[in-house]
C-alpha cells in the first residue's frame, strides 16, 4: 500500500481574493495531509491552458472560460501527500458544482455558485479549489506547477504516529 500518494491542489482566484486560503489549507492539514510544496503564483494563460488540457474532454468554450478565470488573479498551488490523498482531498472539497456540494465540504460551506449561473454570465464556475482527479492527472498536473526540486521530502511527527508506531503493542 502506498502511504504517500500525492495530489495537486490549486486554491483558485476566488479563494485567494476572498481570503479563504488559511481556512482551506487548515482543513487539509486537520485531516492529516502533509504539504510537500506550496507557492503563490500568478498563472499565465498558457500555464492555465496547459493545466486544463490534461483533460482532453473539455469543450473549447469551457476551456477558454477556465483559462481566463485561472489567470485572472494569484492562485495558491500546493502538493499534498498522504494515504489516499486524492480521494480524501476530493471528498473534502465537495462536488465540482458548488450548488451540489454537501454542507461541511469546502465548496458546500463557502460558495453558492452553479453551472447555470456561470453559463448565464458566460464564465467559469467559481468553485474555489482544483484537485487532481486521479494519480495520472496528479503526476501530470504537478509538473505544470512545480519543478521536481520544489517538492520537499520529510517525515512529520503525525506520520510517525499514523504509520510507524505500533500503538497496539503494550509496553514491557
**Residues marked as catalytic:** 130
C-alpha to C-alpha distance for 16 and 1, rounded to whole angstroms: 35
C-alpha to C-alpha distance for 16 and 39, rounded to whole angstroms: 12
Q: Residue-wise over 97-125: b if at least 16 C-beta within 10 A, else e?
A: ebbebeeebbbbbbbebbeeebeeeeebb
Question: What phi-psi label fits residue 122: left (phi over 0), alpha (psi between -120 and 50 degrees) or beta?
Answer: left
C-alpha to C-alpha distance for 136 and 7, rounded to whole angstroms: 10
Burial of 38 (0-12, 13-18, 19+ CB in 10 A): middle
Whether the CB-CB separation of 36 and 152 falls below 8 Å is answered with yes
Q: What is the DSSP letter of 161?
A: I
Amino acid at each position: 500500500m502506498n502511504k504517500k500518494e500525492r495530489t495537486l491542489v490549486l486554491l483558485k482566484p476566488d479563494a485567494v481574493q476572498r481570503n479563504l486560503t488559511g481556512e482551506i489549507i487548515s482543513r487539509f492539514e486537520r485531516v492529516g495531509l502533509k504539504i510537500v510544496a506550496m507557492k503563490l503564483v500568478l498563472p499565465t494563460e498558457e500555464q492555465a491552458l496547459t493545466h486544463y488540457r490534461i483533460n482532453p474532454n473539455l469543450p473549447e468554450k469551457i476551456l477558454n472560460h477556465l483559462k481566463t478565470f485561472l489567470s485572472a488573479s494569484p492562485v495558491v498551488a500546493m502538493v499534498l501527500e498522504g494515504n489516499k490523498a486524492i480521494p480524501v482531498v476530493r471528498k473534502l472539497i465537495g462536488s465540482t458544482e458548488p450548488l451540489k456540494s454537501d454542507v461541511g465540504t469546502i465548496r458546500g460551506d463557502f460558495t453558492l455558485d452553479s453551472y447555470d449561473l456561470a453559463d448565464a454570465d458566460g464564465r467559469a464556475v467559481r468553485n474555489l479549489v482544483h484537485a487532481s482527479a486521479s494519480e495520472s492527472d496528479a503526476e501530470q498536473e504537478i509538473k505544470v506547477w512545480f519543478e521536481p526540486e520544489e517538492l520537499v521530502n520529510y517525515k512529520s511527527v503525525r506520520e510517525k504516529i499514523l504509520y510507524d508506531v505500533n500503538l497496539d503493542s503494550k509496553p514491557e
